[in-house]
Structure 1
Amino acid sequence: STTCTPSGPPMSQETFEYLWNTLGEVTQEGGYTNITSKESIDYAFSEAEDETSISVEKYRITSNDSISDLLNPIIGQTTTASSMSPDSQTNIIGSSASSPYNDTITSPPPYSPHTSMQSPIPSVPSNTDYPGDYGFTISFSQPSKETKSTTWTYSESLKKLYVRMATTCPIRFKCLRQPPQGCVIRAMPIFMKPEHVQEPVKRCPNHATSKEHNENHPAPTHLCRCEHKLAKFVEDPYTSRQSVLIPHEIPQAGSEWVTNLFQFMCLGSCVGGPNRRPIQIVLTLEKDNQVLGRRAVEVRICACPGRDRKADEKAALPPRKQSPKKGQKVNIINEITTVTPGGKKRKAEDEPFTLSVRGRENYEILCRLRDSLELSSMVPQNQIDVYKQKQLDTNRQWLSMILARENKNKLMKKVKRPQHRPGIKSRT
């Protein structure tokens, strides 16, 4: 703004009206003058005081048709804003003229639909055990009778909880030092594998929409529940992760643990829910969304916790070296005795044997068999084949002769049979 005090007499009324009417027009050079005021602008002239004050702001409007402005919109925006600033004398970035923008060019922040949203829960929650300054810890008291039909069981070697669906499982909490008042315990299920850890864990649609275990319940889609009167079920609007909050309580007189009953409302094999993906329950001690302690335990929700625990513990054992069995020695001996050299076999064929028999007739029959066997062993194989073929031909000839003789006998019998004439009775 500029304050003008004329040294001479004031201008005439016609000159002032002409100048006043041309203030809102744009000149050929691009000049434009605008007069702004919060109140209505009136020109007043007083004879007592021969002076007046006018606030004038001058702007220059220019067109940004350069290629650099089209390629880089940030420079174009900065140049336009610099040219529209009051009393600007240049459009070059980084000049000595006053400008509300910095000389350095910064890129715009990346677009995110959740820029204005803040969540106390990170997108990938930590599952590292952290007792904190107050020694936060959890434990599981084993059931009195661990059988295959037990509703829940905990494996110390695997650090894994096996629990049946929709049954209560007691979890005990303890702090070595008293935490500040107003602390809460958050139980939140997460997936264990890196490819699934960013997905929130929820119940499958089948169990979430059924009437069983859902009547008058405020959170039918939550996988983890707690049977506490002050339990609060929370779903984060940023990560969509579901959790249950319960107040931290002081142990009763004579005990060092605080027990709370939890339920898990979906099987680990449900499609649309866990879908056979291993899950963990992250239990954190918090105060005003600040984690003071953390414990994580793997959970398997199944129909038979005792059976699955024994199977997993057996599979986790290291393989044992198999000791040699006694049966292997017997097999080796059998293999050795079955293999005989060819020399011994030839000696056994040439070795003579003596056979005792009673009766002269039997002895002669055996002698004929002996002679025929010895002679057959001396005859070449081709002669044996020729002999066999002759025997076959001879047998065929004998068979044909026998058949022809039988047919001839049948015909002769038919011819010799007497024919009965009509009217003549045979004598009896």
Structure 2
Amino acid sequence: MGRRVGAFGRRGTLPLWPPTPAGRIPLRGEEGNEEEGRIGFKEEEEAMGEQWTRREFLEQVAAAALAFSAGLKERWAEAQEAPVPTEGEKFRLAIIGSGNQGRTLMREALKIPGVEFAAVCDIFPPHREEGLKLAGPKARGYEDYRRMLEKERKEVDALLVAVPLSAHAPIAMDCMEAGFHVFCEKAMALTIEQCQRMLQTARRTKRKLQIGHQRRYNPIYHHALNLIKKGTIGRIVHVRALWHRNHPWRRSVPKVDFDPRPWGYPDLEHLLNWRLYWATSGGLMAELGSHQMDVVSWFLGAKPLSVMGMGGVDYWKDGREVWDNVQVLYEYPDGVKVVYTSITANQYDGYYEQFMGDKGCIVLTQEQKGLLFLEPKAEVEWAEFARKEGKAVVLDTKATTSKDKPKVPNTDLTLDQATGKSAYQLE
């Protein structure tokens, strides 16, 4: 496949990826499990023009994590206040698409008290069987989701949809038309027009439609946004986001007696590896970039004005259609530039979002950690309770702040793994 370059601005458009070929929309495949990369910070001897020892580097990272943690306890506490069913009350779910990602959703949902799965639907028998094992002996299995909607109308409270991207819109809309609330995996749909129709259907049927951008529910991200709104890192001037892995994004295709053609797939390869073909996938930008660019727009409170990018099938020459690498540059209001890359032949940087302001930088790594790095000229409200030790910011163990007021510390001290000292974690 030849390399393509796409860009759109205020006056015209060129597709960043090819349009979906005409034809029947497949109904079911596997929503895959996003394989996590590993984030790494370069431990160069020379950093920012000065000599750093490994100890100093680790102190800087530890201090950044500690600085970010100020206020994070409150965000976690808020997250724990979500309502759950009362004792004895059941919340019954059904799932359409019990592949890898579908089963991941099931496992997470089953951790919530009172949640159970009444039905599992998947056109591929091995996936359906695995889903039924998770759901338990009372769950009912279906091959055709339309039959499940008909039979389970009075038994199910809400539906999870974890099917190939091309099938999100038709299945989610059918579910809402049948009276069900819907949690649909990201990306929302394959086209903007499909997204609009899904939203219109939700409003008309008065059904809840939730899209699986899990960063929106992560207390770490809400805490980072709160810091940004408070001006901790000043005016945001640049953003960098990436998702790098060393993996072909391909699944092995077992030899089983199953014909997917009645469901719109030419063969089992196109069913199980639907992400690799334009008829069913939006490629790296849809499957990975949608997570991170959603965060960028959320944090900036704006939509991009223009974008240009490039990519191609340059490494994995295995018959795939979607690109194995993309490099994209976005322009947002107020001159903010966003650089996004997703590659499949090197995992060194893993995945993260980095927001750079004129007073500091927030780095959100692998959805599990937040780091705050301050510019030398920055002044923060808790600065009087901290001191600089080399290049690290060390928080005073004798005082902290709570809601902007001094507070006598308690014994809840966090050990700084880099220095072995007790560093008080701001609340």
Q: TM-score range by the shorter chain?
A: under 0.3
- Name the structure, 1 or 2, with higher relative contact order (CA <8 Å, separation 6+): 2
More strand by share: 2
TM-score of the superposition, structure 1-length normalised?
A: 0.16
